[in-house]
């Protein structure tokens, strides 16, 4: 007595195909090597940047060689800021300028000063080991402090009140007020643009990289005729869904690993910008839009790959999708350097093919609310089933046709066999 094999459900088919694609993409030797190389480059690049910029975080060190005068000048000197934006360190117990600068004597390099203000002679002098060691911002500020002290002495000698004169002079300084400042003038624009750059590059690599992988996989199975064997076991839509889910999971795991190591390295090394952007919020938004963007474009890449039978034709088949992907990627940078609050960018950000790039960018730039993000997400989730249905229609009708490139119009117009 023979028993007929039980048909498996659609969800089981999708799980089987997704598991096959996940193992093939995640543990393939070339994929492992590529992930390791990118991991080393990402972590190494961050460490190099941290090493090259680490010296800027050290405050400029100024010593004063006349302790009696330094006591009165120290409060004013401690208000000075160096070129790196940090307040300088002031030392008032300097007895030997050359020793303090490390020119003579045996002194630890970490204990040496960058500049010494010598007030022992008639004319004050700023001493450094070489001309390049003089911070011009510190020189200008020290000069201003000494001139103010000399002016106060002269006012006191004439019977005036130096404090009242100083207050009058301070009140006479005009303040520059920009009535319509561009966003680039804000103090935190550099940090926001850095985060935007990282987010956009990750989104572009994952969405386009995953899509290209799917397209090439579809063509490989089609050219080797293995797709005919697979379609004898599973439905075409299940094969498409499994490929998208399996490849997407492999890409997210690979680049997620790189992102985690790079993020931890950046945070520990002090490269990651702080204060301007809520990194946790941006990371959450990026992950959500990354999944949505991948879902939108991946099925399109699979459908485009089904139209051709040779690897040489993949680039031309997916070119329209790649160009569509490039538009929001470039627009996000144009928006950051222009007026991010413009109605044009706000409308474009709601379009589902553009939202995965423009919405995270608007959030990073501080011009988008969570209500706007949610509304755009709802529109994208409504659009995805429609685009999946259209892509599945193209994939199902073209994946078994070999030879010349299948015209898209013919695939969409003809009735299924």
By CB atoms closer than 10 A (0-12, 13-18, 19+), residue 397 is buried
Report long-range pairs for 229-234 (Cβ below 8 Å, ≥24 apart): 230/17, 231/399, 231/400, 233/13, 234/13, 234/16, 234/17
pLDDT (tens digit per residue) in 149-191: 778 777 887 777 777 766 776 666 677 665 555 555 555 667 7
Q: What is the DSSP letter of 109?
A: G
Flag whether pLDDT at 378 surpasses 90. yes
How much is the pLDDT for 34? 85
Q: What is the share, in percent, of the chain residues with pLDDT greater than 70?
A: 84
Flag whether pLDDT at 410 surpasses 60. yes
Confidence of residue 106 (pLDDT cuts 50, 70, 90): low
Residues 339-366 have a mean pLDDT of 90
Query: How far is it, in rounded angstroms, from Cα 349 to Cα 352?
Result: 8
Distances (CA, A) of 144 to 136, 150, 160, 162, 354: 12, 10, 20, 15, 53
Residues 206-231 have a mean pLDDT of 84
Altogether, the residues listed in the chain come to a count of: 417
How much is the pLDDT for 376? 94
Predicted structure pTM score: 0.67
pLDDT (tens digit per residue) in 260-292: 787 778 777 766 655 556 667 877 888 889 889
Confidence of residue 352 (pLDDT cuts 50, 70, 90): very high
Flag whether pLDDT at 11 surpasses 70. yes
Tell me which of 177-191, 223-237, 393-407 is least confident. Answer: 177-191
How much is the pLDDT for 1? 44
Higher pLDDT among residues 408 and 331, named by residue: 331
Residues whose CB is less than 8 angstroms from the CB of residue 285 and which lie 6 or more positions away in sequence, other chains included: 359, 360, 363, 373
How much is the pLDDT for 380? 93
How much is the pLDDT for 135? 83
Residue 189: φ, ψ to 5°: -65, -40
How much is the pLDDT for 348? 93
pLDDT (tens digit per residue) in 246-265: 888 888 888 878 877 877 78
Confidence of residue 2 (pLDDT cuts 50, 70, 90): very low
How much is the pLDDT for 354? 94
**Segments in 307-342 forming alpha helices (H):** 314-337
Helix (H) or strand (E) holding 24: helix 10-26
How much is the pLDDT for 35? 85
Mean pLDDT of the chain: 80
Tell me which of 6-15, 32-41, 328-337, 385-394 is least confident. Answer: 6-15
CA-wise closest residue to 88 among 51, 149, 143, 135: 135
How much is the pLDDT for 350? 94
pLDDT (tens digit per residue) in 116-152: 888 777 778 888 888 777 888 888 888 888 888 778 7
Query: How far is it, in rounded angstroms, from Cα 194 to Cα 166?
Result: 41
Tell me which of 3-7, 58-62, 199-203 is least confident. Answer: 3-7
Confidence of residue 57 (pLDDT cuts 50, 70, 90): low
């Amino acid at each position: 007595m023979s028993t007929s094999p039980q048909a498996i459900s659609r969800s089981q088919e999708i799980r089987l195909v997704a598991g096959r694609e996940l193992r093939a993409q995640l543990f393939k030797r070339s994929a492992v090597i590529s992930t390791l190389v990118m991991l080393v480059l990402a972590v190494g690049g961050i460490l190099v940047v941290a090493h090259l910029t680490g010296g800027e975080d050290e405050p400029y060190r100024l010593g004063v060689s006349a302790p009696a005068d330094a006591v009165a000048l120290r409060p004013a000197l401690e208000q000075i800021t160096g070129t790196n934006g940090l307040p300088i360190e002031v030392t008032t117990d300097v007895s030997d300028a050359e020793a303090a600068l490390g020119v003579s004597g045996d002194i630890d390099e970490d204990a040496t000063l960058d500049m010494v203000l010598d007030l022992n002679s008639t004319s004050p002098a700023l001493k450094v080991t070489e001309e390049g060691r003089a911070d011009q911002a510190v020189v200008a500020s020290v000069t201003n402090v000494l001139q103010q002290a000399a002016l106060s002495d002269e006012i006191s000698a004439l019977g005036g009140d130096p404090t009242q004169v100083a207050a009058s002079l301070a009140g006479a300084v005009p303040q520059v007020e920009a009535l319509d400042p561009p966003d680039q003038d804000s103090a935190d624009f550099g940090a926001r643009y850095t985060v935007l750059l990282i987010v956009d590059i990750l989104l572009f690599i994952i969405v386009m990289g995953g899509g290209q992988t799917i397209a090439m996989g579809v063509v490989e199975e089609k050219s080797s005729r293995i797709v005919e064997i697979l379609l004898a076991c599973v439905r075409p839509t299940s094969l498409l869904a499994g490929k998208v889910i399996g490849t997407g999971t492999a890409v997210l795991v690979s680049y997620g690993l790189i992102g985690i190591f790079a993020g931890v390295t950046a945070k520990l090394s002090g490269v990651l910008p702080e204060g301007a952007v809520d990194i946790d919020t941006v990371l959450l938004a990026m992950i959500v839009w990354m999944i949505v963007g991948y879902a939108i474009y991946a099925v399109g890449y699979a459908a485009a790959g089904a139209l051709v039978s040779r690897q040489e034709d993949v680039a031309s088949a997916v070119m329209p999708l790649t160009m569509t992907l490039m538009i929001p990627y470039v627009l996000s940078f144009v928006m950051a350097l222009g007026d991010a609050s413009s109605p044009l960018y706000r409308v474009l950000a709601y379009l589902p093919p553009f939202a995965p790039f423009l919405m995270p960018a608007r959030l990073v730039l501080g011009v988008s609310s969570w209500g706007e993000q949610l509304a755009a997400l709802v529109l994208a989730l409504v659009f995805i089933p429609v685009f999946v249905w259209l892509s599945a229609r193209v994939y199902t009708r073209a994946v078994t046709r070999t030879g010349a490139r299948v015209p898209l119009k013919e695939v969409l117009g003809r009735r299924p066999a």
